Amino acid sequence: QVQLVESGGGLVKPGGSLRLSCAASGFTFSDNNMNWIRQAPGKGLEWVSYISSTGTTIYHADSVKGRFTISRDNAKKSLILQMNSLRADDTAVYYCARGGYQLPRGAFDIWGQGTMVTVSS
Amino acid sequence: QSVLTQPPSASGTPGQRVTMSCSGSSSNIGSYSVNWFQQFPGTAPKLLIHSNSQRPSGIPDRFSASTSGTSASLAISGLQSEDESDYYCAAWDDSLNGVVFGGGTKLTVL
């Protein structure tokens, strides 16, 4: 079935780095743009990063620009978020989400289960 | 605070019709499609409405949505206890070059 599975979360010290992965299955990964969205404990949803289906167009939220990098490997059906210079306010559940095929940006039709990132000393 | 503005809470009784709003600006709702998500505690969000008013397959027609200018609204008719959840609106914003979310509305079924 169509599925996204995140991994790589954990506890990291401020200033540290973490690499999140999202493994896709059950659909043609290269057809869809992909996104990372996060949710701090008890808070709302915050979009983090977008990458187009071919990887040629990338956007990052201002809050992570210069620190986070999104990338993808269509052959491996994998989405990556490299997170550097982590701060306490990056603590959140990070979701991988698929942009619906031929749907407007922001129409995230498939979500992973999320992976928790905790930034603390 | 969030770029899109949603009331923090809403409530209704079973069978009732409830609506919740989402207010934005010309750079987001005024120019781009609005999407709505439902999220239960401890679970990933689920796409409820895309392209302002379109329901993905499997979403009951009790859920409907519309937009007008720089605002959008989600309506749930025939309210059921299982509708008690958090609801988020989202849209592309061309001044931020990113997707913006509302802060979410927590729906309570009394």
Cα end-to-end distance, chain A, whole Å: 39
Are the Cβ atoms of B90 and A47 closer than 8 angstroms?
Answer: yes
From the list B2, B99, B102, the residue facing A105 with the nearest CB is B99
Residues of chain A with pLDDT under 70: none
pLDDT of residue B1: 86
pLDDT of residue A94: 98
CA of B103: which chain A residue's CA is closest? A44
pLDDT of residue A75: 98
Specify whether the CB–CB gap between A51 and A72 falls below 8 A.
Answer: yes
Are the Cβ atoms of B45 and A106 closer than 8 angstroms?
Answer: no
CA dist B95 and B28 (Å) reads: 8
Q: Nearest CA to CA, how far is A17 from chain B (Å)?
A: 23
Per residue in B61-87, pLDDT tens? 999 999 999 999 999 999 999 999 999
Cα end-to-end distance, chain B, whole Å: 28
Can you spell out the DSSP letters for A17-85?
A: -EEEEEEEESS-GGGS-EEEEEE-TTS-EEEEEEE-TTS--EEE-TTTTTTEEEEEETTTTEEEEEE-S
Are the Cβ atoms of B35 and A104 closer than 8 angstroms?
Answer: yes
Q: Is B46 on the interface with A (CB under 8 A)?
A: yes
Backbone dihedral region of A53: left (phi > 0), alpha (psi from -120 to 50 degrees) or beta? alpha
Per residue in B16-49, pLDDT tens? 999 999 999 999 999 999 999 999 999 999 999 9
Are the Cβ atoms of A95 and B92 closer than 8 angstroms?
Answer: no
